[in-house]
Amino acid sequence: MYSVFLSKTGYDSALVRVPRRRFGPVPAWRPPDFVEPEEVWILGTSHLSTESVADVERVLRAVRPDNVVVELCRSRAGIMYVSSDASDEQVLKSNMFSLGGTQFFGAVNRSINLGGQSALALRLLLAVFSSKISSGANRPFGEEFRAARRVSEDIGAQLVLGDRPIEITLERAWKSLTWDKKTKLVISLFRGITSTSDKPQDEKTAVSPYELYQKLSTSYPSLLQPLIHERDMFLAWSLKRSKAVNKSKTVVGVVGKGHMNGIVYALISDQGDLRFRDLVGRASSDTWVTSLVKGLVRDTVIGLVLWALYEQLQSVL
């Protein structure tokens, strides 16, 4: 058995401390000069909660960690830097799938390079879908990440992007589906985007990315592994084994509360299987001819999807 220290910081947040002695063994392949953090704190938050913002500020100022690891990747880092001068509408429409952090075409190019056209199309669909289902919440997404950035700057902690690139996550999610499931998913998202409902939304109907992933995984069980379990492991790797946390005394992770159990389990049960290349690898056994044919078909389909999505964007947003 292992012990961790659990305390409630607020209605929407929870805090876990995992000391280094509870970690799994350092594998033989790890460089000898690497030293894992003495302790890792995991603060589970709600992405749409004002209470979580206060919890992040209070915990970081109390613990004063060397590193603050956030559940964001480079493509989504812009969420932390939304200008205070931005319009309320722009802030409210920002979500975990938005193409932000760089200029639009730069973000598109990065998405295609890392995940391919299919992952980009899926991301755009999810971005529009998420904006629509959360539009009635009247609360900005990711305010706790902005709080983490501000406090990290105040206390001199290093801010670490700890999540796997969303492009790779969506690519692996897309590949996990059969073609009939892919078709069903795309149709379902389009229906959700184009549907007109007069039912008023309140803050209870707002859906966080983790909740959306869970809902998708219920209908498409093969999505559970790439969307949730693998990301739990990647976040654990960032907290425990990334170069950024080498020789750190204290690391705090700011993550969605739904990831907490998976991250704690990965930290403690790890027997050397938390390896970056295993969590981001892209393998393919296709010949160049097969890849060419598939690419032509895929690009045609994706082109049609993006065109249709563009038409919907003009009417929905």
Average pLDDT over residues 42-50: 84
Say yes or no to pLDDT of 228 above 70. yes
Number of domains the chain contains: 2
| DSSP state, residue 164 | P
Do 210 and 253 fall within a single domain?
yes
Say yes or no to pLDDT of 22 above 80. yes
Q: What is the pLDDT of residue 265?
A: 93
The answer to whether 186 and 95 are in contact (CB under 8 A) is: no
Three-point CA angle 162, 149, 70, nearest 5°: 20
Look at 111-120, 175-184, 269-278, 292-301 and tell me which has the smallest mean pLDDT. 292-301
pLDDT band at 26; cut points 50, 70, 90? confident
β-strands 250-256, 39-45 pairing: parallel
Q: What is the pLDDT of residue 136?
A: 53
Do 273 and 174 fall within a single domain?
yes
Q: Give the C-alpha distances (Å, rounded to integers) separating 305 from 38, 110, 125, 133, 207.
A: 48, 19, 9, 20, 24
Between 229 and 130, residue with greater pLDDT: 229
Matching residue, tokens 């401390």: 17
**Distance separating alpha carbons of residues 209 and 211, to the nearest angstrom:** 5
Do 142 and 270 fall within a single domain?
yes
Domain housing 305: 290-316
**Distance separating alpha carbons of residues 299 and 146, to the nearest angstrom:** 36
Average pLDDT over residues 244-271: 92
Q: Provide the total of helices (H) and of strands (E) in the chain, helices listed first.
A: 12, 6
Do 244 and 303 fall within a single domain?
no
Do 189 and 301 fall within a single domain?
no
- In 3D space, the residue among 60, 73, 238 whose CA is nearest the CA of residue 153 turns out to be 60
Q: What is the pLDDT of residue 161?
A: 95
β-strands 13-19, 39-45 pairing: antiparallel
Q: What is the pLDDT of residues 83-108, one digit of tens each?
A: 655 554 555 455 566 655 445 555 55
One-letter identity of residue 262: G
Say yes or no to pLDDT of 284 above 50. no
Say yes or no to pLDDT of 183 above 90. no
pLDDT band at 112; cut points 50, 70, 90? low
pLDDT band at 2; cut points 50, 70, 90? very low
Do 298 and 152 fall within a single domain?
no
Do 197 and 231 fall within a single domain?
yes
Do 299 and 162 fall within a single domain?
no
Beta bridge partners of 5: 17
Do 35 and 167 fall within a single domain?
yes
Do 238 and 275 fall within a single domain?
yes
| b/e per residue 157-186 (b: at least 16 CB within 10 A) | bebbbbbbbbbbbbbbbbbbbeeebbeebb
Do 297 and 177 fall within a single domain?
no
Do 231 and 309 fall within a single domain?
no
| DSSP state, residue 206 | -
Average pLDDT value over all residues in the chain = 75
Beta bridge partners of 253: 42, 69
SS3 189: helix
**Within a 10 A sphere around the Cβ of 209, how many other Cβ atoms?**
22
Say yes or no to pLDDT of 279 above 90. no
Between 137 and 143, residue with greater pLDDT: 143
